[in-house]
Amino acid sequence: MSELLRPDLCIIGGGSAGLTVAAAAAQFGVPVVLIERGRMGGDCLNTGCVPSKTLLATGKRAQAMRDAGRFGIEPVQPRIDFAALHDRIHSVIASIAPNDSVERFTALGVRVIQDEARFVDKRTVQAGDIRIKARRFIIATGSSPAIPDIPGLSTTPYLTNDTIFELTEPVSHLIVLGAGPIGMELGQAYRRLGAQVTILDRGRPLSRMDEEAARLVRRRLEDEGIVIQTEAAVTKVESVGGRVKIRFEKGGDAMEIEGSHLLVATGRMANIDSLDLAKAKIRTTDQGIRVNKRMKTRNGSVYAIGDVTGPPQFTHLASHHAEIVLRNAVFRLRPSLDLTKVPRTLYTDPEIAEIGLTEAEARKRHRDVRILRWPYADNDRAQAEGETGGFIKILTDKNGYILGCVIAGANAGDMIPMWSLAIAKSATVGDIAGLVFPYPTLAELAKRAAITYYRPLLRKPYLQRLAAWLRKLG
């Protein structure tokens, strides 16, 4: 006989979004049931952010050994122990996993069910032999690699970000399908680990990010020896003698390339197929579950958060979704999603970090948009560190209110939070220009760029006359 549970919240999915809601709600004394069919921690912990950033960190150190000559140190060609690298990636995952474990959430008072969930009707979910009738449901089932329909791909061995971190042997030539964040990050990492890398994409690399910043990253990757083929339409994939052959068309010409490994990084798709959402009267699109700005579905008892709602798909955005739902479902507040306050980040070297309106969006919404810039090359810390490739670009309206910011360069992701705060608090460039920054730091880029807002004033005749008159007063 089925067990019947009647919690306040039933969360489907134990990734970053679902776990954020579960932990917070349970600590407020809310009865919570959490259903997860796979590994706790979801994509970010097991196959996404954590392993990929560990891999990138290893590649960065290998590259530093090659580039040591400019610092007066004899450069060394690194020797990579791929089995040890594999073990390190999984040891990092294991060190974080207890925070996301069944044991921790059970101790918090969450009833964890390790099974597959499906809706029976608008107010009921079945998970194995357990039936759940909750006051509110939260779908946080995440996403999986989207596999394109390319002839021969289904019969050819390929990697995704779900499987690439299981490799324990060297990769001689990695072919990457897709020049989005996953493809560019993993492509650079494997190039720095000694592989030849070719990236193919139908459009421009990093098409959703600031075009100027994307060009900077592309140049760096190409300088490191990565071949990037844009406007390349893949027509066939096949396995030949243990290697992978890719045929593609570019500019009307038929071309082909052969490599040892193939990574498919052509986007992600929402994990919704097994949920029987139609029985719950929940609408979907080709990108995921349709929600309003409070993350609520058409079914007023059901919310959806994280990657399952479609792009943009960031772990920090999933956590923000979770905060919105907590305030709505638990405290009856009515906060809503504002994507202009959510940072967009890329962790290649150099990094890209963005917040607020893009340049195109700013020009659509505002008549007079000012663009303030400062290059990394004119920053003393960047010179000392040898990280002079990059820039900061601030978008303001005519009154100096900050509309957006793009940072392309070293540590960009660590510097963007200040601009998140500036936009959230409706700060002006004057507020930034008036801050005192420690010297020498990359953070000074913010002040230098902000001060350029006042350059046109220096050419105003009345201000020049005022300065002259004040000088005469002594």
Q: Which residues are annotated as a binding site for NAD(+)?
A: 178-185, 267
| Sequence ranges of the binding site for FAD | 53, 141-143, 307
Query: What CA–CA distance (Å, rounded) separates 145 from 264?
Result: 8
| Sequence ranges of the binding site | 53, 141-143, 178-185, 267, 307
Q: Which residues, in sequence order, are bridge partners of residue 268? A: 145
Q: How many CB atoms lie within 10 A of CB 1?
A: 4
Minimal CA–CA distance to 412: which of 342, 349, 318?
A: 349
Contact criterion met (CB below 8 Å) for 419 and 435: no
| Number of Cα atoms under 13 Å in the Cβ half of residue 281 | 9
Q: What does the DSSP assignment read for 322-346?
A: HHHHIIIIIT-------GGGS-EEE
Query: What CA–CA distance (Å, rounded) separates 138 from 282?
Result: 12
Contact criterion met (CB below 8 Å) for 195 and 172: yes
CA angle 410, 416, 421 (to 5 degrees): 160
Three-state DSSP at 407 gives strand
Token duo for residue 412 = 């960009």
* CA distance from start to end of the chain: 94
Q: What does the DSSP assignment read for 30-93?
A: --EEEE-SS-TTHHHHHTSHHHHHHHHHHHHHHHHHHTGGGGTS--------HHHHHHHHHHHH
| Residues with Cβ within 8 Å of residue 252, at least 6 apart in sequence | none
- The whole-angstrom distance between residue 383's C-alpha and the CA centroid of its chain comes to 28
Q: Which residues, in sequence order, are bridge partners of residue 446? A: none
Tracing tokens 């592309």 back to the chain, one arrives at 218
CA angle 96, 97, 100 (to 5 degrees): 110
Minimal CA–CA distance to 160: which of 182, 193, 189, 188?
A: 182
Q: Which residues, in sequence order, are bridge partners of residue 238? A: 245
Backbone angles phi, psi at 58, to 5 degrees: -65, -45
Going 372 to 203 to 226 to 346, the CA torsion angle's sign is positive
